[in-house]
């Protein structure tokens, strides 16, 4: 299992192979940020949050409130307002 705490409401932590797949292949066009230190592929909680935020902003997944921070919700709102302004609505 990956050594990160599960989000509130989550039943379990993601398996390390899931994180590895998200890093190499991505999920719905979004890749998890990683760095290689020696022979080990590493990521951070912040990179996981950015990964989740990007999935929500692109509409790849629906926010459940369990993994999306209030900051990312505000950022999504600002992005939506920008897109509406750009469209002239």
pLDDT for res 39:
86
Q: Answer yes or no: are the C-beta atoms of 56 and 76 closer than 8 Å.
A: yes
pTM above 0.85, yes or no: no
Can you give the residue ranges of every domain in the chain? 16-87
pLDDT for res 64:
60
pLDDT for res 55:
83
CA distance 13 to 11: 7
Q: What is the pLDDT along the chain (89 residues), one digit of tens a residue?
A: 455 555 555 567 778 888 889 999 988 888 999 999 898 889 888 888 888 888 888 776 665 655 556 777 778 888 888 888 888 87
pLDDT for res 1:
42
């Amino acid at each position: 299992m990956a050594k990160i705490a599960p989000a509130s409401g989550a039943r379990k932590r993601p398996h390390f192979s899931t994180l590895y797949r998200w890093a190499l292949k991505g999920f719905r066009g979004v890749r998890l940020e990683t760095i290689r230190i020696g022979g080990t592929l590493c990521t951070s909680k912040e990179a996981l949050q950015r990964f989740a935020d990007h999935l929500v902003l692109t509409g790849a997944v629906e926010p459940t409130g369990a993994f999306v921070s209030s900051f990312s919700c505000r950022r999504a709102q600002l992005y939506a307002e920008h897109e509406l302004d750009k469209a002239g609505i």
